[in-house]
A and B are shown apart, each in its own frame.
Chain A
Amino acid sequence: MKKFDNEFIQNYIDGDLTPSEISEFETEISRNENLKKRLNEFRALESGLKKMKEYEVTASFTALVMSKIMKPSRAASQSRNFFFTISTLFLSSCLLIIGYISYLIVESGGFQNGTDEAARQLSSQFVSVGNFLITFFSSMNLSILGSILSIGIIISAFFFYENVRLIKKTLNK
């Protein structure tokens, strides 16, 4: 009987036996009730396992995953917009300063009297801008400006932190 052990029966079920082994086994089954019972246990298991149903996810599963996949692009776009705004503000300030200096040069007659005169005019304009800044940053003005800047920095830092936190949260989701 050792020949018809579990492994042999499993091979019969899996179709891994030679035709002569199959024939020999089937002859034995027809006269051995115990072996037939064991074979039925194997068949029952195979049949039951093949009918095994798959579990199903909730109906909104795909939409939920897709919303998470699409969100990072929105977060990245928010991040891009934030840096675009900061860069635009910086460039605008630079352009305003350059524009103001150009205006002062044109106002005072421009470069009409040769290169040396032009250099002198340009230098005097920078000196006047420098004098304006020195007056502007006088000790009293500086303390007022410092306070305003500090408040501005604190507010900007808060919004920057909130923005970064929001982006991180969205990406983690």
Chain B
Amino acid sequence: MSNQSMKHLSDSEIIASVLKGNRSDYAILIDRYKNKAFSMIRRMIKSEMESEEILQDCFLKAFNGLNKFKGDSKFSTWFYRIVYNTTISRLSLKRRKTEQEMRYLDDELNITYEFTDTEKKDLSEFLNDVINLLPPNYASVINMFYLQEMTCEEIAEITEQSLSNVKVLFHRSRNALRELIGKNNYSMELT
């Protein structure tokens, strides 16, 4: 089967082919998930180079553990859990308390944004900057919900947190972002 026609196959069909010995088919899965997973890591880690290094590690981990993937959940959920946990581990190397912070909710979320340029940015550019100011757990939830179009249930499964925790994180993130939009008069763009 050509590589082009393989691209239309489902994740589980590609995994079956890889497990049969067609290692090169794994490239299709990499192409399918690389940018979304990269965005998730980058929102949490912030550094481009380090994020790419972590993503490589995640794809290698997933490849080596592919025979352990039983298909109980979707491949994407399984893979994003690897991505999320690997990123948390990397963060916890930097800051010992991060893992604890990632699992439990902070009391309040306060972020401030200051314009450095003389010209006002457009809304998506502004939001992009502001999301990067969010703590990793908040930024990852926003990223998974809007960019990866996951449900709160899926996010809870990936992050191994309770559904109510995820909803609180999500609620606080949106409140913080909305306040900044209000403070900087971005709501006028849509009126």
Residues of A near any B CB (own CB < 8 A): 6-7, 10, 37-38, 40-45, 47-58, 61-62, 64-66, 68-70, 73
Contacts and interface: CB of A to CB of B under 8 A. Distances in A.
B102 to A, nearest CB: 21
Interface in B122-181: 123-124, 126-128, 131, 142-143, 146-147, 171, 174-175, 177-178, 181
A6 B51 CA distance: 34
Interface of B: 23-24, 26-27, 30-31, 34-36, 38-39, 42, 48, 51-52, 55-56, 59-60, 63, 123-124, 126-128, 131, 142-143, 146-147, 171, 174-175, 177-178, 181-182, 186-191
B26 A69 contact: yes
Nearest to A64: B56
B34 A52 contact: no
Given A47-B190, A49-B142, A66-B26, A41 B178 contact: yes
Contact of B147 (A10, A54, A58, A64): A54
Contact of A55 (B31, B39, B124): B39
B71 to A, nearest CB: 21
Nearest to A72: B64
A37 B185 CA distance: 10
B38 A48 contact: no
